[in-house]
Amino acid sequence: MKISRCIKNPVLYIRKALYYAIGNTVARMFYPPRLYKSVWFSGLSSLGWEWATKGLLHQKLFGANSGAWWPVARFQKVVNPDNISFHVDDINNFQMSGTYFQAIGAISVGKGTYIAQNVGIITANHDLLNLDRHSEAKPVSIGERCWIGMNSVILPGVTLGPVTVVGAGSVVTKSFPEGYCVIAGNPARIVRRISV
């Protein structure tokens, strides 16, 4: 954050300083040291301090997404966080409102991937004969440097290769393991190849 911006808006500076102070003291008692190696904690005004401070309130005090070892936004749902693997630099994907990670089965997210708001990543559907139960879980794998557009849904068993862009509002029912493509629609299909 630039000094001139802080001088113009002292309230912003005070808020950032409080996030840093709380995130760098109290939050360190609740989140593991590996979290603080993320790029999101590189300076006084980094967003990671804000996420860690807000996570304390929502996760540790009120119990929302309390099983996650990393900060998760208030209006996001993470089921079985132990089944989710991602690079620590990508905790920004867990700060978007409305996103749903249903990790009954494994979910892996490659480094540098961006996941927008209101995205659903599902590893198990309801059993058609008994809606109180889930069918067998199937893992979801998202490659490196992908972009999952807003309001998209990725269904059980899907593998997306590297550099796959999922258009907003898409429903991904099958795998695109080769990557380097833009997919869109319901069901999603390749609409463009991405050349390197």
Could you report how far apart the first and last alpha carbons of the chain are, in Å? 34
Say if CB 194 and CB 173 are below 8 A apart: no
Q: Is it the case that residue 8 has pLDDT exceeding 80? A: no
Average pLDDT score over the chain: 93
Give the DSSP H or E segment for 5: helix 3-8
| pLDDT digit string, tens, across residues 135-193 | 899 999 999 999 999 999 999 999 999 999 999 999 999 999 999 999 999 999 999 99
Say if CB 194 and CB 163 are below 8 A apart: yes
Place of tokens 């409305």: 98
Q: Is it the case that residue 2 has pLDDT exceeding 80? A: no
| Residue 89 pLDDT level (bands cut at 50, 70, 90) | very high
Tokens of 177: 């393991």
- The SS3 of residue 100 is strand
Q: Can you tell me the mean pLDDT for 100-105? A: 97
| Domains of the chain and any CATH numbers | 1-74 (no CATH), 75-196 (2.160.10.10)
| pLDDT digit string, tens, across residues 51-70 | 999 999 999 889 999 999 99
What pLDDT, on the 0 to 100 scale, is given for residue 6?
53
Q: Is it the case that residue 1 has pLDDT exceeding 50? A: no
Tokens of 121: 């990543």
